[in-house]
Every structure is written in structure tokens, then in C-alpha cells.
Amino acid sequence: MKGLLLYIDPGSGSYLVQVIIGAVLGALFYFKRFWLRVKTFFVRKKKGASTENDEGNA
Amino acid sequence: MTKEMPDRSRHPASYRDPSGFIFRLDGLCYRQVNEEYADDYRQLIDSGLYQALSSKNWLIGHSEVEQGPIGGPGHLKTLLPRQLPFISYPAEWSPDQLKDAALLTLGILRAAISRGMILKDASPTNIQFADGRPLFIDSLSFERYDASRPWVAYRQFCECFLYPLLLHHYHHQGVHKILAAYPEGIAASTTLPQLPLKSRLRPGIWLHVVLPARIRQGDGDAARLPPFDEKKLLLVVDNLESTIQKLRTDAPGEGSWRRYYSETILSSSYLAEKEKIFREMLGSIGFSSALDLGANDGHFSKILAERKALVIAADSDWACIGNLYRWCRDTGTSIYPLCIDIADPTPASGFGHAERSSFTERAESDLVIALALIHHLVLTRNIPFHMLAGYIARLTRAHLIVEFVAATDEKAILLTRNKPGFHKPYNANAFEQEFGRYFTIIRRTPIPGTERILYLMRKKEGQ
């Protein structure tokens, strides 16, 4: 019933646009998070390796 | 400053929202809240949203008037909002002002969502400027949030804020003329062909312009669309915000008047002498409101503001107005910088020509100053002295400080070098004679080392 009280016309197209944008950004968000995990995994590993080297040199 | 309306009448711009309206009584603006808005109003107050936003000066503060006046049928409550001394319209703003208004709208939207509410409209007219900063003035724009539905005002937000800012980002023409031509916002399908092809590679533009331009308003059945949720809405809001934050509001090159005072060879001694005479003239008069026509970088508007007056600074150069706005915002100075072409000021417009009043109607002040301006209007825009004097006499209630620039002045020569066709005679005598029809000259002081004269004038009775 809420829609009946609206005094600006959002147009159903505007809803569809937001559903698509929401889906695209949602997918990007999960992809970014996944990518960050992968990156963190390798960076940490690399960092760990270089720390060992530093200790070796010292 | 606005034209008096009959008592207790609904403000002519306040007719769209059935939740309530603004009315005026005994010189004060009140807002009536209608019964049908009762649940939303309760949520606005009980959720702490009103308190959170008004304490940050994001939303206009109000007091509930218990035994107060009633504007009309359907009355639930009467609010007495903070009274604003001057109203400006988006068609008078610089890109910076529109950008700040857009970011404030999104900030308020995010705060509302966190307290179970949402903005039901996203018009830039919901924003006014107070103490140099944007302020959301429509306390009835909030409604209870249904997380399964997208933002009802998304399209309006894009059309009124994002698209004008995008057009400015790529074409550097300001936003005021776009918003004057499209007061309800410019459509995605009108915006898209004006953006360079390379812009479509930007995700924000693809999502918020290309996609909406391809999908028609009737497409998709709202009832059958997959459910939306708060997380998705916040992603859309974040993306809109980061897209807008990256948009340029400055000018890549230097505009016509941007360095008028800082770089002209007349500069330092001319400016110092002019300021000295100007301050002496100001010292001899009283005023509580002032209008600076052709304000440029606002050097003299800032001097007017030192007198705690209401100062309106008008200039046709959006970049000058943008610079002045940023200074006012950062220092919290209450000057109203507006993009106004004096030869074509904002007309009365909207429904019945009454929704938005004309610049002339709003800007009438105790004092008008017009420094280094008259020669542009006479020599470039071909406005005869007597018409100019007549118009300025409508803008000032009492005094005028005006600078006359002789035809032999370096800047005047530049204007007339390739343009023989202007009204003659153009000299101080003709200027004094024509302005003398409307004004009495109180002081006439030549600026040493220049071919310029500063005048202090008083408007004649009955003009």
C-alpha cells in the first residue's frame, strides 16, 4: 500500500535499474573480498619468507 | 526578503507533498504536519534521527508549536523551523554547492537507513545554504523504510544531482544553466549522448547513466522484481557517493574574471585604494542587508560580511562563485554566493510563476554595490545607463556604491576594441546624469592612479 502514498513517480524502470546495480555491486563486493583474501594469503606468505631471510642475514 | 504572502496561506512552492506544507503567519514560516504523516513523523522523532541530524546541522531544527497556528485541514502538528533569511535555487548554484548538496543528501539517506527510515524524495530544493553550508530543510522527506524495496528517489537524485555534475565534469560549463533549463532534473537519455565515449568505461557512469538510459521507465514490473535488501541499497548509496566525490567542480583553465583582482596590472595599489575609499563610504551608512553585484572573488562581499549584514554575492562566473562558496563553507561565513547574470537574472518560475520567486524579488537589500561592473553591462551587454540605474534602484532600498570606469581605462578599451556599437555618450557626466534620475550622489571619489571613480549614492524618495 505504501506505493500509493508516493508523490514522486519512481517508475518501475528505476526499480529494475537498482536491482541490477545492486546485483552488480554485490557481486563485485564478494569478488573484491575474495581477491583480497587471495592477495593477503600470498603477501603474508611472501612477507614471512622475507622475514626469515632478514633474520638469516642478521 | 521575500514578497509578503497573505496571512496563513500555503507557500506557493509547498504543494507537492501530501504529508504537510509550509505556511506563513505574521512574518514567520511554519510547517504543518498532516495526520497522514503521523506514523512517519513519530518514527523520525522516536528513532532519534531528527535529533542526530539536527544536532549536526544537517537537518533544519524546529520546535513543535503546541498551541500554535493551524495552516489548514488534516492538521496533526505545527512546527516552527529555524527561519532562513534568504532562499536560493539550484539554478543559481555553483558546481561545488550542488556537489555538497548531493553529498549531504546521501549522508542523510545513510543516517536515515540506519534508523529505519529513508528519503522519499531527493530534490536539491530540499537543501538551502545557511552559515555558508548546506542544510536539509524538508523535515517531511523521511518515511519508514521497507528494506525489500529499492530507493524510490534514486532516479530523481540522479537527474537532479548526478547528471548535472557529470555534464559539468566533462564540459566545465557550470550546473546552474542545466538546472534552469531542467528544474525537475535532466534525464539519463538526454545526458548520455553529451558524455564522451571514454566516460562509459567508468563503472559509475555505466551503472548510473548508461543502464538507466537503456531501461525505460515502464520496464520491469515492480511487484515481480526480485527482493531488494539493505545491504544492496547501501552498496548503491556508497557507489553514488564515490562517483560524485570524484567529479571535478573547478575549471581546468582560468575563466574570464577569476583573476581579475589578483593578476590585473591594476591590482595591488588599485585594490588597496579602492578598498580604502569603499570602507570610508561604508562607515558613513547603516545597513542590515547588502547585495554585491558582479562580486567576482567576493573581496568586497567579505568586507560587507564584517558588518554582520546579510550579504548576497552575485556573479555570472560560476568558478568565482565556487571559490567564494568554498571560502564561506570553510570559514562558516554567512554570505550567499549565487551564479546570476545581471542582464538575465533568475525569473519567477514554476507553477503559476509562484513556485520560485525572481532574483529581483528576493535580493532587494538596504545597500547595493556594483564595483567594476557597469562598464561590462553598458559596453558589452549594451544596457543603456538609464535602464541600468532603474533596475539597480529596484534592488536597493537605500544606498548604492558604484564604480564608474572611463572609456579610456585599459579594461574598457579591451571591451570596445572590436566593438564600436555601444550606447554613447559613455562618460562620467552621462553616467551621473542618468543615475541622478534615481539617486542622489552623496560622495564622488576618483580612485588615485586610475581612470575610475567610486560613488556613494542614496535612492531618491519615490523611486
**Domain regions of chain B by residue span:** 9-81, 260-459
Average confidence score pLDDT of chain A: 71
Whether A56 has a pLDDT exceeding 70, the answer reads: no
Mutate to test the interface with A, among B160, B217, B224 (most CBs of A within 10 A): B217
Q: Which residues contact B63 (CB under 8 A, 6 or more apart)?
A: B79, B80
- Give pLDDT, residue B259: 56
In this structure, what C-alpha cell is assigned to residue A24?
Answer: 552488480
B377 backbone dihedrals φ, ψ, rounded to 5°: -70, -35
Distance between CA atoms of residues B183 and B160, nearest Å: 8
CB of B202 within 8 Å of a chain A CB? The answer is no
- Give pLDDT, residue B222: 63
- Give pLDDT, residue B130: 95
Rounded average pLDDT over B46-67: 95
User: B236, exposed or middle or buried, with CB in 10 Å at 0-12, 13-18, 19+?
Assistant: buried
Handedness of CA B269, B305, B406, B323 (dihedral sign): positive
Rounded average pLDDT over B372-400: 95
The reply to whether A6 falls in a domain is no
Which of these, B82, B62, B95, lies nearest to B178 by C-alpha position? B95
Find residue B143's DSSP bridge partners.
B118
Q: How confident is the model at residue A51 (pLDDT cuts 50, 70, 90)?
A: very low
Beta strands in B20-151 (DSSP E): 20-25, 28-34, 62-64, 75-81, 117-119, 127-130, 133-136, 142-144
Whether B141 has a pLDDT exceeding 70, the answer reads: yes
* pLDDT tens digits, B69-121: 777 788 899 999 999 999 999 999 999 999 999 999 999 999 999 999 999 99
Distance between CA atoms of residues B389 and B435, nearest Å: 5
- List B residues 215-254 in contact with A (Cβ-Cβ < 8 A): 215-222, 225-226, 228, 231-233, 235-236, 239
Among chain A residues, the shortest Cα distance to B217 is held by: A13
* Residue B15 burial (CB count, 10 A): 15
Whether A9 has a pLDDT exceeding 90, the answer reads: no
Q: Which residue has the higher pLDDT, A12 or B341?
A: B341
Q: Do B121 and A16 touch (CB under 8 A)?
A: no
- Give pLDDT, residue B9: 72
Q: Do A10 and B154 touch (CB under 8 A)?
A: yes
**What pairing do the DSSP bridges indicate for beta strands B396-405 and B365-370?**
parallel
Give the closest-approach CA distance of B154 to chain A in angstroms.
7
Q: Which residues contact B321 (CB under 8 A, 6 or more apart)?
A: B94, B295, B313, B315, B337, B338, B339
Q: Are B364 and B375 in contact (CB under 8 A)?
A: no
Q: Do B152 and A29 touch (CB under 8 A)?
A: no
Among chain A residues, the shortest Cα distance to B146 is held by: A2
Q: Which residue has the higher pLDDT, B254 or B42?
A: B42
Rounded average pLDDT over B458-463: 89
Whether B338 has a pLDDT exceeding 90, the answer reads: yes
Give the closest-approach CA distance of A4 to chain B in angstroms.
12
- Give pLDDT, residue A58: 36
The reply to whether A58 falls in a domain is yes
In this structure, what C-alpha cell is assigned to residue B434?
Answer: 542618468
- Give pLDDT, residue B373: 95
Whether A3 has a pLDDT exceeding 70, the answer reads: no
Q: Which residue has the higher pLDDT, A39 or B1?
A: A39
Whether B188 has a pLDDT exceeding 80, the answer reads: yes
Average confidence score pLDDT of chain B: 91
- Give pLDDT, residue B413: 85
The reply to whether A13 falls in a domain is no
Give the closest-approach CA distance of B57 to chain A in angstroms.
26
The reply to whether A47 falls in a domain is yes
Q: Which residues contact B172 (CB under 8 A, 6 or more apart)?
A: B251, B252
Distance between CA atoms of residues B169 and B171, nearest Å: 6
Q: Do B208 and A19 touch (CB under 8 A)?
A: no
Whether B399 has a pLDDT exceeding 50, the answer reads: yes
Q: How confident is the model at residue B298 (pLDDT cuts 50, 70, 90)?
A: very high
Burial letters B365-387, b for 16+ CB under 10 A, else e = bbbbbbbbbbbbbbbeeebebee
- B248 HSE (CA, 13 A, CB side): 12
Q: Would you say how long chain A is, in residues?
A: 58
Q: What is the pTM of this model?
A: 0.90
Rounded average pLDDT over B232-252: 93
- Give pLDDT, residue B27: 87
Find residue B25's DSSP bridge partners.
B28
- Give pLDDT, residue B248: 95
Q: Do B150 and A14 touch (CB under 8 A)?
A: yes
Q: How confident is the model at residue B266 (pLDDT cuts 50, 70, 90)?
A: low
Handedness of CA B38, B27, B341, B300 (dihedral sign): negative
Residues in B closer than 8 angstroms to A20, CB to CB, are: 211
How big is chain A by its Cα radius of gyration, in Å?
Answer: 24
Residue B425: asked if its preceding bond is cis (omega within 30°), the reply is: yes
Q: Containing domain of residue A51, as a range? A: 24-58
Q: What percent of chain B is modeled with pLDDT above 90? A: 78
- Give pLDDT, residue B227: 79
- Give pLDDT, residue B254: 52
Q: Which residues contact A11 (CB under 8 A, 6 or more apart)?
A: B155, B217, B218
Rounded average pLDDT over B171-188: 96
Distance between CA atoms of residues A20 and B397, nearest Å: 56
- Give pLDDT, residue B74: 86
- Specify the CATH class of B260-459 in words: alpha beta
- Give pLDDT, residue B40: 96
- Give pLDDT, residue B403: 97
Among chain A residues, the shortest Cα distance to B230 is held by: A22
Residues in B closer than 8 angstroms to A8, CB to CB, are: 16, 120-121, 152-153, 156
Helix axes B230-245, A11-57, angle to 10 degrees: 80
Give the closest-approach CA distance of B439 to chain A in angstroms.
49
Least confident span in B168-172, B212-216, B377-381 = B212-216
Q: Do A12 and B232 touch (CB under 8 A)?
A: no
* pLDDT tens digits, B190-231: 999 999 999 999 999 999 999 999 987 666 666 677 778 999
In this structure, what C-alpha cell is assigned to residue B354?
Answer: 509562484
- Give pLDDT, residue B216: 72
Among chain B residues, the shortest Cα distance to A17 is held by: B212
Rounded average pLDDT over B166-186: 96
Rounded average pLDDT over B425-444: 96
The number of domains in chain A is 1
Q: Which residue has the higher pLDDT, A8 or B34?
A: B34
Which of these, B374, B409, B394, B401, lies nearest to B462 by C-alpha position? B394
The ipTM of this complex is 0.78
Q: Are B274 and B280 in contact (CB under 8 A)?
A: no
Q: How confident is the model at residue A55 (pLDDT cuts 50, 70, 90)?
A: very low
Indicate the residue of B156, B215, B236 with minimum beta-carbon distance to A22. Answer: B236
Among chain B residues, the shortest Cα distance to A10 is held by: B152
Q: Which residue has the higher pLDDT, A12 or B104?
A: B104
Q: Would you say how long chain B is, in residues?
A: 463
Whether B138 has a pLDDT exceeding 60, the answer reads: yes
- List A residues 1-58 in contact with B (Cβ-Cβ < 8 A): 2-3, 5-26, 29
